[in-house]
Amino acid sequence: MAGRLAAAALLLFSALVPAAAGTTDVAESTRIGERLYVVLYEHDPIQFSNALRAGADFLDARPGRRFEVIMDYYGLFAAIPGVTTVQREYADIRRRHPGLSVVVCKETFEKLARMNKRKLSVLPGMQILPCKDRRQALEKAGWRPALGF
């Protein structure tokens, strides 16, 4: 009986150790500077492209990092399908970097849809979320603004 318990304990231990070791490599880092965000207020495809490339470079440097692009005011025009050719670059970078998220500000997006009197959509993978207090919430959670934007 004691031999069976020892064998069961050893089997359980060996099953748990590799699982725990594997999760530490891809777990989201909570260290300061490992999660960055940028806010785009202007409809500037080059700035959107620069933000995407900076995010890709940041994410490539270390596993577990996160990078968020927040699109507000005129900046959200780049999120509407068919507006700029940078959207192809977004699709490619987003596919290769799951730690990259793009948030379209819900308040501005809904106002734009009302003014145009039609339903609008955003590119696949982008989230429409309230942005009223988003920056403060991110910073409280340990996120920092990316420099140069």
pLDDT digits (tens, 9 = 90+) for 109-120: 999 999 989 899
* pLDDT confidence of residue 148: 86
Q: Is the pLDDT of residue 12 over 90?
A: no
- State the pLDDT at residue 28: 55
Considering the domain boundaries, does residue 97 fall inside one? yes
Across the chain, mean pLDDT equals 82
Q: How many residues does the chain have?
A: 149
Model's pTM, two decimal places?
Answer: 0.77
Q: Is residue 24 part of a domain?
A: no
The domain tally of the chain equals 1
User: Is residue 83 domain-resident?
Assistant: yes
The token pair at 43 is 């409809």
**Assigned domain for 112 exists:** yes
Q: What is the CATH number of the domain that holds 127?
A: 3.40.1260.10
149 — pLDDT class (breaks 50, 70, 90): confident
Domain span at residue 120?
30-145
Asked whether residue 10 is domain-assigned, the answer is no
Q: Does the pLDDT at position 13 exceed 60?
A: no
- 128: number of Cβ within 10 Å: 19
Judged against a pLDDT cut of 50, whether residue 40 lies above it is answered with yes
User: Which residues have CB under 8 Å from 78's CB, separation 6+?
Assistant: 40, 43, 45, 48, 71, 84, 86, 87
CA atoms within 13 A on the CB side of 71: 25
Q: In this structure, is residue 75 part of a structural domain?
A: yes
Phi, psi of 40 (to 5 degrees): -105, 120
Q: What one-character DSSP code corresponds to residue 65?
A: -
Is 36 inside a domain boundary?
yes
CA proximity to 37, closest of 61, 67, 73 = 67
Residue 5 domain flag: no
Instruction: Reply yes or no on whether the pLDDT at 74 is more than 70.
Output: yes
14: confidence class by pLDDT, cuts 50, 70, 90: very low
